[in-house]
Structure 1
């Protein structure tokens, strides 16, 4: 039953609020509690009372200034739009190059390369069943493969993100290609997107190739080498995406990511590196779920916290070190095989959350990624989703457009509180490295994943097409991308055989011997020797085999 509104506005805020509360209670009846994915209770209405006594400059400030809540650059998207960095991984190197050119023509402004799963597992193409090759990424085993992938790409003008897990053979191949082309390494820009071995140990086990202590050593060597010889490169991307996709709540994902960044920074400082010599090249990589306001608050709180952590805890004095530069990808775990065209809407909503959260670059998933590697049509729609949000919806016109909203600011504060509590728990466990060694982080993520799945199964969390608004679809209504043709795979295997036959066996043997020696000598830089081995003609699988032998095979810890 409706409660009539007063004839005139109440005299003050308290009276107006009391009037609304009475009307709300009368109409709503029994109100149900609402919580977001991080477990934070959400009120039905937020008012100026939720911001009482909060100083503007201390909590929000201006873009490009501490506390960085509103963005890390003064102009944000008014000055330069976010980078459209679409992830591509497809078949043989020639297939990748063709798709890459299509996406650049469609408006992508930077490139991202993901290798075949066989590469992540540490193998060359001739070591696995051909049926498995090229289905989830590009087959890249040699410097020649990388040259084919990047054919026609001006390496000194296009930023390249390599989804390159340890021991960073793709980066080594890329540097080899640059040297062949006469491109100065100092002019190369990009990111080692999958350099965060801690995230792999916790939540992306296929990428975890080298035992934990060895991984720690190799990452430090990679950071030192790239900072010195490839200064435009970001050698570390601290990854929260894997943990959130494994089931961490948005607050947990942000907290664990910041803990990981603190750990990596501490490891760099233990090597004698000054914070301001490496922190400006730290980047972050996050998942964007469909929980819009929660994601916006997650990013704003994380940005504010990192600026403070870098300044106060790590001792950074250069303002560039305080910048929370992050790439984000719309969440594949929110996509469904059922009614897959609905995923176009999901991706658009996720992308809006990322833009409102102030990201620096973004990959938007294709609607059919729940089924297979994206088809060309679906990939083009994914790119155009960003084009439409920027050009037609004008989402980049205003900096931090949700800033100042009572709900958004209150939620940002609550997310920060939740994140800080989790960071304190990890600190009490001895830091992120110690916490993951003991399985504490894995256990927390597993519990959150199980709790969310239970809510879905009970119908408390609605997913359109899965447990609500279901519809029958004809089998094969949305066909998956076909596997690479057998002839394509065989041609790639033949190329690998020819490459091995043509190289100098003596040079490869010498380079791999030097790599093995470096792995057991703390005075040596393992990544420097990896680059030398790649340029001498060593393959990805050969390099990984040597390092696994010397530093141990990567076995992730699964906590139940």
Structure 2
């Protein structure tokens, strides 16, 4: 192999003199340049050289994919062997509406299910407790097992991975399991993720659907992890979420640090309950926002991956290599999308998706360009799926593993992100761990301060947002994408059918199932998620389960900090 030509030597300059000459010319050309730093507060230099990456020139400075510390990826083949799973958040109207859209997206390349329910469901209510005009506008209305069966009609949940955007007490998963049971599907074949299982991120940043008290949510999550390990062993019951916190204003470094702190907290809780690390850690997954800060996001994921590898092995005592794998789903950041000039969002989503791919994700959701306006339209969702197909098939982003590895900038930035993330983890440790840091409001205050800093950058014009504070154009509002809403008559039939179904149930059986939930809540040795599954089998509705556990475990009241 030919040795690369050193141009500085060829021109009679040693590398040090060449760098000095470049720097002098640069400073002469830009004598008053404004210092630049990324969102996480790391100063960004105009040029990176071997001097910025101390490991440069060492034997094997990065390691290899599939080998600790996993900087270059958690699998030996990464996307060259198996590309990321394409998950599109889908949810609109009735279960029949959802099913039609889901099957259409699968026909266009989606390879897994990601179900998002109506906000009424997120808040813990059945459709009978919500104004009709609000139903199904941002997700599908699923209140019982029958609704789940209709939503997934034509999808073999024993073959297709499913993500349930389903906060504690995980009623949607319970409905899905009973629907699978009725169809004769072995639960041991079912794969997927409880995509909203991270109660701490909800307490910090998702107040709208924080259902149960902080202590009650902790209990249900641990029961959920233990129960799924026994009954649905291929299911991922723990999705540690950084997305909510970053969308609330956390910097990329803060989002990664707080997510890793949450994973540590949940792992230590499982160990305290008597579980061995290698029994549950292989089923821990992570869920992150991918912002437009391209290189910062790539460095965030590379740094987080190698930090988690060390945490799992050195702090938590894992021995199984699978326990140290940082498996993560990425969703392009909705907060980066704009209502103004919404077609520009296609470019934004493409850049975000590339950052996630180069960062080594295992699963990807690309936002539709009209998501800043409402629930994504079918037209917008098709473009979002096609964006992934184009990046994979036409742009050939899967040809090389970790193609940015070895870049002086990327490696220096990864090291700096790692340092910042570790300092934040130490801060949370000093506060007594993530549960106490969240309970006291420490994490919320830090995120709020970061959100304010970034907003000030936008308002001052330091951070340009195309179409919002620069490059503005007069727009015809009527030219914006059509916002789909459920057909009122169809939604009314859905409500009528649900009311008739409830009226036909045995009141005695409903009361018996609710009493079983309460007895389990009162028994420290009882498994609450197992009782939720029993309740779904007995015909309890989503609100009935949530309301009873809110009564017994306490209503969710997130801490508001100023």
Normalising by structure 1, what TM-score? Answer: 0.98
Q: CA deviation at 1:503?
A: 2.4
The answer on 1:423 being equivalent to 2:459 is no
Per-residue deviation, residues 346-373 of structure 1 (Å, max 9, x unmatched): 0000000000000000000000000011
Preserved contact between residue 59 and residue 69 of structure 1 (Cα < 8 Å): no
Aligned residue for 1:469, secondary structure, equals: coil
Q: Distance in 2 between matches of 1:277 and 1:55?
A: 39
The answer on 1:334 being equivalent to 2:330 is no
RMSD of aligned Cα (Å): 1.3
Aligned residue for 1:61, secondary structure, equals: coil
* Equivalence for 2:369: 367
Unaligned runs of 5+ in 1: none
Number of residue pairs matched?
Answer: 556
The answer on 1:283 being equivalent to 2:285 is yes
Preserved contact between residue 504 and residue 537 of structure 1 (Cα < 8 Å): no
* Equivalence for 2:149: 147
The answer on 1:324 being equivalent to 2:345 is no
Determine which of 345, 348, 364 is the counterpart of 2:347: 345
Determine which of 189, 192, 217 is the counterpart of 2:191: 189
Preserved contact between residue 123 and residue 208 of structure 2 (Cα < 8 Å): yes
1:528-543 pair list within 5 angstroms: 528-543=530-545
Q: Distance in 1 between matches of 2:61 and 2:260?
A: 19
* Equivalence for 1:313: 315
* Equivalence for 1:235: 237
Preserved contact between residue 333 and residue 352 of structure 2 (Cα < 8 Å): yes
Q: Distance in 1 between matches of 2:239 and 2:63?
A: 27
Preserved contact between residue 431 and residue 437 of structure 2 (Cα < 8 Å): yes
1:8-407 pair list within 5 angstroms: 9-53=11-55, 60-407=62-409
1:436-475 pair list within 5 angstroms: 436-475=438-477
Determine which of 534, 546, 561 is the counterpart of 1:559: 561
Q: CA deviation at 1:556?
A: 0.4
Preserved contact between residue 9 and residue 16 of structure 1 (Cα < 8 Å): no
Unaligned runs of 5+ in 2: 1-6
Q: CA deviation at 1:53?
A: 4.2
Aligned residue for 1:306, secondary structure, equals: helix
Preserved contact between residue 368 and residue 381 of structure 2 (Cα < 8 Å): yes
* Equivalence for 2:500: 498
Q: CA deviation at 1:9?
A: 2.0
Preserved contact between residue 55 and residue 61 of structure 2 (Cα < 8 Å): no
Per-residue deviation, residues 160-193 of structure 1 (Å, max 9, x unmatched): 0000001000010001001000000000000000
Q: CA deviation at 1:56?
A: 5.5
Preserved contact between residue 127 and residue 143 of structure 2 (Cα < 8 Å): yes
Q: Distance in 1 between matches of 2:481 and 2:348?
A: 20
Q: Call closer, same or farther: CA 1:278–1:57 in 2, change over 3 Å.
A: farther
Aligned residue for 1:66, secondary structure, equals: coil
Aligned residue for 2:37, secondary structure, equals: coil
Normalising by structure 2, what TM-score? Answer: 0.97
Q: CA deviation at 1:8?
A: 5.9
Q: Distance in 2 between matches of 1:456 and 1:444?
A: 19
Q: CA deviation at 1:13?
A: 1.4
Per-residue deviation, residues 351-396 of structure 1 (Å, max 9, x unmatched): 0000000000000000000001111111100000000000000001
Q: Distance in 1 between matches of 2:226 and 2:8?
A: 68
Aligned residue for 2:361, secondary structure, equals: coil
Q: Call closer, same or farther: CA 1:393–1:131 in 2, change over 3 Å.
A: same
Aligned residue for 1:476, secondary structure, equals: helix
